[in-house]
Amino acid sequence: MKRTNIVVGNWKMNLTIAESLELASAVIAELGSGFSGCEAGIAPTCPALYETGKLLASGPLFLAAQNCHYENDGAFTGEVSARMILGAGCSHVIIGHSERRQLFGETDEIVNRKVSKALKEGLKVILCVGETLEERESGITGDVVTRQVKAGLAGIAGIGDLVIAYEPVWAIGTGKTATSEQAQEVHALIRKTVSDLYGAEAGDGLRIQYGGSVKPSNAAELFAMPDIDGGLIGGASLNASDFAAIVKAAC
């Protein structure tokens, strides 16, 4: 099955609203009138979503949020719901990023509840999985990633609106990158795990991104791997020309 590559820039906790609009405009300018052969989007901070969404309304980039809560509303100070980010113009949401898991204590159960709610509300979900350096060195990468995939998808009936992002925690923001062969090995395992859960056709159609110090210099090699379908880009997405170059590599 021919899968369309997908690239998303995760801006994390960076940039004011004005700075977000400036960067989004620069990315659009770098990409020109549009691109074909892949999908691409950006995930600004929550305060910048609405204004950035208005800028992106005419394309070619889609708007993603970096997180959402598993309830529609209630006494959850500081949180935002799936309906709120939909209303801000988002079509996608990133869930289960390692920084959410490690810094904010998100468990597999919490991630699963968020995935379920986001899909139910009509968002497309980017589910993040990945192992720490200690887990890789202990030889349990496969166990960890398989557990995260199965737990994140527990009770989810269909995965047509889902993308999985494999992000080895030891390669996020460190400058270290999994070799293309290391990344391919884990991507193939994720695809097999999903195929076992949902059938071969669903597994073959699932798009699996790689994230972890992707740069213009290594993007093409990574994206050439048979089971790598684009990237979830952190630091490089804060530079318009670098991010545009990665999108073009994916296309």
What's the CATH code of the domain at 189?
Answer: 3.20.20.70
Rounded-to-integer distance, Cα 144 and Cα 131, Å: 6
Annotated binding site: 10-12, 173, 213, 234-235
Hey, CA dihedral for 143, 236, 36, 181, is it positive or negative? negative
**Mean pLDDT of the chain, nearest integer:** 96
pLDDT tens-place string over residues 175-222:
777 899 999 999 999 999 999 999 999 999 999 999 988 999 999 999
- At residue 213, the pLDDT reads 87
pLDDT tens-place string over residues 88-133:
999 999 999 999 999 999 999 999 999 999 999 999 999 999 999 8
Task: Identify the DSSP state of 47.
Answer: G
Neighbouring-strand partners of residue 40: 7
Residue 239 pLDDT exceeds 70: yes
Task: Identify the DSSP state of 77.
Answer: T
Annotated binding site for substrate: 10-12, 173, 213, 234-235
Q: Which residues are catalytic?
A: 97, 167
Sequence-separated contacts (24+) of 101-110 with Cβ below 8 Å: 102/169, 108/147, 108/148, 108/151, 108/152, 109/151, 110/70
Quickly state the pLDDT bin for 1 (edges 50, 70, 90).
low
pLDDT tens-place string over residues 131-160:
998 999 899 999 999 999 999 999 999 999
pLDDT tens-place string over residues 2-25:
899 999 999 999 999 999 999 999
pLDDT tens-place string over residues 34-70:
788 999 999 999 999 999 999 999 889 999 999 999 9
Give the number of domains in the chain.
Answer: 1
pLDDT tens-place string over residues 69-91:
999 999 999 999 999 999 999 99
Domain extent, residue 163, equals 5-250
Residue 170 pLDDT exceeds 90: no
